[in-house]
Structure 1
Amino acid sequence: MRSRGSHRFATVLVALLALVLSACSPGASEPENRQLIVGTSVAPNSMDPSTSDAAAIPQALLYNVYETLLKIDGEGNLQPLLASEWSVNPDATTYTFELRPQARFASGAEVTADVVVDSIQRIIDDPAVLPVLKSQMEPIESMRAVDANTVEFVLARPSRSWLYSMAQTAGIIYDPAALGSLATQPAGSGPFVFDSWTQGDQVVLKRNDNYWGTGTRLAGVTFKSYSDANAMNAAMLAGQIDIISNVAAPQALDQFNDPRFTILEGVTTGEIVLGFNHQTPVLQNLQVRQAILHAINREGLRDSVWAGKGLLIGSMVPPTDPWYEDLSEVIPYDPERARELLAESGEEPVSLRLRIPTLPYAPGAATYITSQLAEVGIQVTVDELEFPATWIQQVMVESNYDMTIVAHVETRDISRFADPSYYWHYDNAEFQQLIADADAAASDAEQIALMQRAARILADDAAAGFLWLLPNLVVTKADVTGVNRNAPSLSFDMTAVSAPPN
């Protein structure tokens, strides 16, 4: 039997051998002098993810420039980031995080427990911070720096969603010296640092040469926005960009079946939702809502608009959530049943305004849905609204619509239906209680069971039309590696991406 001492010697010998081999490998530890260009569909309207809910901001900055205590990996699981480990007490109300003592902001300032407390306190206190981020931190009763590298959070009640939120935008740890200029000069602790932003065009990041952890091997990354999906595809074919973050014209995907490119197909958290304004009197009638959904051939819609790409869903749950189950046939395509329900509803004739954003999937989906609803006797008027500003103001802020179509890309956003003030104005007490109970659940199994019941309510109640799940269709140049196949968070994570010099 080998002694403990000889085992330690063998471990050291293997480690030394690995170092020697690494040192002998040409360029194995050298950064690559290549600035990759990532094509995106939407341009950010600010650089501050705490005050603007534009998904394009965390797409470029989360995990790349800004870091959190925990990180959502490519499979949707939580992993350590600024915190090396964390623990929770038996009643799930006290969380203790051990910070990495070497963690630094790009400015050189230390990421300490006091800084973490101040960053989260800003989310809670600053009136300019988005209400949705404040609500994610609402369970916190108190927090304190136990010592320089240990931070403790005490929750007023158990909250499983709170820990997940700490790995997202609400949990970003900001450099306290830069809080006054975050809208134009983001400052974090990530492997990239902000270089420049040309509004409506591009965000340029460069390598953080003083990164505290395992740094990126890239010289940097540029997120370049294209309002025209075909123009982005043409730029890829011409070699002008290195990555398409998500193909916005999947009908054209076949043109990348070429040795010059790699196609990655995975899942996102982006549920394309035919949203109902439950303040509209006719849409308060369950039979009308069910009729609308029975009238829509969602498989045909997806095939027509999105080239058959993307999972059909029946509720606000993607397959990366542990409580996912297939509810896509709860209200199946059945135009005859739709006509029957309309006749039974007593609401005929039904006339609705469908106000949609200028996003790649929305106009085609609106045309298809309008035609199908007309076949069962529902008349629809379509308005296209500039995205994000006009659509957000008219639809999300003013609730000036009857129906809309938009992809909700936030993780685990089924809880939005538990907030009657949210722009859908869906108000179901049983659903709200299930969401609350699931958040305080004592075990994973209990949480999953409660969330499945909640998801089923949304499907049965026709709370919205859950059309299909946006697929993650990424195209890279063949020599680019390390891009996640799935997109379980808002981040387009470039931290492990590699590419040889041009």
Structure 2
Amino acid sequence: MIPSPRRLLAVVVSAAAVALVATACAPASSESGTPDPAVVIGLTGEPANLDMTTTSGAAIPQVLLNNVYENLVTLDQDGEIVPQLATDYTVSEDGLTYDFTLQEGVTFSNGAEFTADDVKFSLERVATDWTINQAKMAVLDHVEVVSPTEARVVLTTPSNTWLYSMTGSVGAMFDESGVDDLANTPVGTGPYVITERVQGDHISLEARDDYWGDEVAVTDVTLRYFADAVTSTNALSAGDVDMLFNMQAPDLISQFETNPDFQVIQGTSNGEILLALNNQAAPFDDLRVRQAMAYGIDRQAVLDAAWAGYGELIGAMVPPTDPYYEDLNDLYPYDPDKARELLAEAGAEDLSVTFKVPTRPYATAVSEVVVSQLAEIGVSATIETLEFPAVWLDEVFTNDDYEMTVILSVEPRDILPTFNDPEYYIGFDNSEIAPIAAAADAGTTEEWIAGMKDVARITAEQVASVPLFLFPNIVVADADLDGIAANAVTESLDLTGLAWR
């Protein structure tokens, strides 16, 4: 757990933070003394483009979900499913049919009216036009347009996970006439539109005058992307940035904790720092080598050295906020002698591996500690730095051209997307867990929880990869900035509650 002396004031999310306004040591004020309704947020991990239907990674939905795109249902800060574009919904007794009643008077940013036809188009389009995340909509049979404000969704089989998936990117609502250039011009029903994107620097959002819902207090948001944590921290200190989201320099937090001009917030996160092993390639196609890695890494020491003790150890790719969490930290306690024994048994003494590390602050910090620890068990890991996201996504995620990497996996409930597809970049043999996962998804809530615990235990025992720790969500912001959505319950950096005090 996070050491109690470091428990800060509140709560926080996953992924990154923001940018620069023209003048600004603090929020600029008008002549009347009213704060300027603009915010600059500092982030790391810039999106490669704005099309989350064809491009993987959390950076795109971080910007767009809740802000530009909206869903029928979303998650509140407690992780509960609540209506968004739907006013309510009902589920049939057999779990196959969902009836959604839609908000009236909703329009897309291009002026088109939002109706049940858009629900049908958006959900059925996942199977045909999306190149990622299609599995999350695999149980969809069809969508019926009952009336302009009523949509009926019919599944092929009951699913405990489908409605939850609908709160993420695959549940976003699109207008059929607004999908021609998603990479550059996303069209949604949300309160903001993208007004500018300067690659390598920032993304600007502006509030819509015709938004159907509650008016947002902050009408202009700039998301500024920084290459490293120190630069972003300096920008915050200088007043060029109003907030750092998911701060990437935990050793620099103390200077803000004692400064009354700033607030430090720590919250929950879905993000696992994963030491990913390519199960389809030597040497990690050998279970004994993967087990040696698990025994040979002191995860607490990694957490302490790389992230100043902020975070929480997890034994499987399941955060404690998931209903099927089980503490599996004792499966592979730190035991370098056992690690060396397994390597010898596998004929892998004096092993050399290439460690492809994305250009992210957490990855740099973690990789240096891991390399040092592996050297003690006879494994020589050579770091090869890859630009993130473009090069890492291409080489590692898309082409599986790697032996070992480290990544912050921030998608909620991502154990199955990560380990239930041998074609996925991890390459884990899912033949044992696939039938368990399928039966759990179609079963009762109790059967789902029990089945998913089995899935988590099998992937941990088989060392599909090594979850190092649960990433903390730390936000440092101007003391006068209110409404920060601190808990990272989704991929979204929700801007809609921000306001100046």
Q: What TM-score, normalized by structure 1, do the two folds share?
A: 0.90
The code of the aligned residue for 2:152 comes to: E
The code of the aligned residue for 2:489 comes to: P
The code of the aligned residue for 1:173 comes to: M
- Structure 1 residue 33: Cα displacement: 4.3
Between stretches 314-323 and 336-345, larger displacement belongs to 336-345
**Matching of residue 429 in structure 1 with residue 431 in structure 2:** yes
Q: Deviations over 1:401-423 (max 9, x none)?
A: 11111111111110020111001
Q: Deviations over 1:194-213 (max 9, x none)?
A: 21111121111111122111
Partner of 1:131: 132
1:50 to 39, 44, 53: 53
- Structure 1 residue 123: Cα displacement: 2.1
Partner of 1:245: 245
Please list, as runs of the form range in 1=range in 2, the aligned pairs for 1:139-218 lying within 5 A after superposition. Answer: 139-218=139-218
Partner of 1:471: 472
Q: Secondary structure at the match of 2:284?
A: helix
Partner of 1:35: 38
Please list, as runs of the form range in 1=range in 2, the aligned pairs for 1:244-393 lying within 5 A after superposition. Answer: 244-257=244-257, 258-393=259-394
User: What is the alpha-carbon distance in structure 2 between the residues aligned to residue 365 and residue 219 of structure 1?
Assistant: 38
2:123 to 120, 123, 142: 120
**Does the aligned pair in 2 maintain the 1:53–1:130 contact within 8 Å?**
no
- Structure 1 residue 379: Cα displacement: 2.0
User: What is the alpha-carbon distance in structure 1 between the residues aligned to residue 386 and residue 40 of structure 2?
Assistant: 29
**Matching of residue 441 in structure 1 with residue 443 in structure 2:** yes
The code of the aligned residue for 1:215 comes to: E
The code of the aligned residue for 2:177 comes to: A
- Structure 1 residue 343: Cα displacement: 2.4
User: What is the alpha-carbon distance in structure 2 between the residues aligned to residue 109 and residue 95 of structure 1?
Assistant: 25
User: What is the alpha-carbon distance in structure 2 between the residues aligned to residue 373 and residue 52 of structure 1?
Assistant: 33
The code of the aligned residue for 1:240 comes to: D
The code of the aligned residue for 2:197 comes to: W
User: What is the alpha-carbon distance in structure 2 between the residues aligned to residue 231 and residue 343 of structure 1?
Assistant: 44
Q: Deviations over 1:62-91 (max 9, x none)?
A: 101110001112222211100011111111
Instruction: Give aligned-pair identity as a percent.
Output: 41
Partner of 1:21: none
- Structure 1 residue 435: Cα displacement: 1.6
**Does the aligned pair in 1 maintain the 2:121–2:174 contact within 8 Å?**
no
**Does the aligned pair in 2 maintain the 1:189–1:211 contact within 8 Å?**
yes
- Segments of structure 1 that go 5 or more residues without pairing to the other structure are 1-30
User: What is the alpha-carbon distance in structure 2 between the residues aligned to residue 334 and residue 438 of structure 1?
Assistant: 34
- Structure 1 residue 148: Cα displacement: 0.7
- Structure 1 residue 102: Cα displacement: 2.3
> Across the two proteins, how many residue pairs are aligned to each other?
466
- Segments of structure 2 that go 5 or more residues without pairing to the other structure are 1-33
The code of the aligned residue for 1:427 comes to: D
User: What is the alpha-carbon distance in structure 1 between the residues aligned to residue 499 and residue 365 of structure 2?
Assistant: 36
User: What is the alpha-carbon distance in structure 2 between the residues aligned to residue 228 and residue 403 of structure 1?
Assistant: 22
Q: Secondary structure at the match of 1:382?
A: strand
Q: Secondary structure at the match of 2:432?
A: helix
- Structure 1 residue 357: Cα displacement: 0.8
**Does the aligned pair in 1 maintain the 2:312–2:469 contact within 8 Å?**
yes
**Does the aligned pair in 2 maintain the 1:33–1:219 contact within 8 Å?**
no
Q: Secondary structure at the match of 1:392?
A: helix
The code of the aligned residue for 1:355 comes to: K
User: What is the alpha-carbon distance in structure 1 between the residues aligned to residue 157 and residue 59 of structure 2?
Assistant: 32
- Structure 1 residue 54: Cα displacement: 3.3
- Structure 1 residue 32: Cα displacement: 6.9
**Does the aligned pair in 2 maintain the 1:298–1:467 contact within 8 Å?**
yes
The code of the aligned residue for 2:496 comes to: T
| Larger radius of gyration between Structure 1 and Structure 2 | 1
- Structure 1 residue 34: Cα displacement: 1.1
**Does the aligned pair in 2 maintain the 1:323–1:448 contact within 8 Å?**
yes
Q: Secondary structure at the match of 1:265?
A: strand
User: What is the alpha-carbon distance in structure 2 between the residues aligned to residue 143 and residue 325 of structure 1?
Assistant: 36
**Does the aligned pair in 2 maintain the 1:72–1:488 contact within 8 Å?**
yes
**Does the aligned pair in 1 maintain the 2:55–2:132 contact within 8 Å?**
no
Q: CA RMSD in A?
A: 1.5
Q: Secondary structure at the match of 2:40?
A: strand
The code of the aligned residue for 2:154 comes to: V
User: What is the alpha-carbon distance in structure 1 between the residues aligned to residue 474 and residue 36 of structure 2?
Assistant: 27
User: What is the alpha-carbon distance in structure 1 between the residues aligned to residue 491 and residue 90 of structure 2?
Assistant: 25
1:72 to 75, 84, 90: 75
User: What is the alpha-carbon distance in structure 1 between the residues aligned to residue 105 and residue 68 of structure 2?
Assistant: 17
User: What is the alpha-carbon distance in structure 2 between the residues aligned to residue 108 and residue 392 of structure 1?
Assistant: 35
User: What is the alpha-carbon distance in structure 2 between the residues aligned to residue 362 and residue 164 of structure 1?
Assistant: 29
User: What is the alpha-carbon distance in structure 2 between the residues aligned to residue 141 and residue 365 of structure 1?
Assistant: 43
2:63 to 60, 65, 90: 60
- Structure 1 residue 485: Cα displacement: 2.1
Q: Deviations over 1:170-213 (max 9, x none)?
A: 11112333211221111111111221111121111111122111
1:94 to 80, 94, 97: 97
- Structure 1 residue 344: Cα displacement: 2.7
Partner of 1:20: none
- Structure 1 residue 220: Cα displacement: 1.9
Q: Secondary structure at the match of 1:339?
A: helix
User: What is the alpha-carbon distance in structure 2 between the residues aligned to residue 121 and residue 305 of structure 1?
Assistant: 43
In structure 2, the CA distance between the partners of 1:173 and 1:330, relative to structure 1 (3 Å rule), is same
**Does the aligned pair in 2 maintain the 1:44–1:200 contact within 8 Å?**
no
User: What is the alpha-carbon distance in structure 2 between the residues aligned to residue 484 and residue 86 of structure 1?
Assistant: 25
Q: Secondary structure at the match of 2:186?
A: coil
Q: What TM-score, normalized by structure 2, do the two folds share?
A: 0.90
User: What is the alpha-carbon distance in structure 2 between the residues aligned to residue 261 and residue 130 of structure 1?
Assistant: 42
Higher relative contact order (CA 8 A, sep 6+): 2
Partner of 1:17: none
**Does the aligned pair in 2 maintain the 1:75–1:320 contact within 8 Å?**
no
Partner of 1:14: none
User: What is the alpha-carbon distance in structure 2 between the residues aligned to residue 59 and residue 439 of structure 1?
Assistant: 27
Partner of 2:25: none
User: What is the alpha-carbon distance in structure 1 between the residues aligned to residue 339 and residue 223 of structure 2?
Assistant: 45
User: What is the alpha-carbon distance in structure 2 between the residues aligned to residue 60 and residue 428 of structure 1?
Assistant: 32
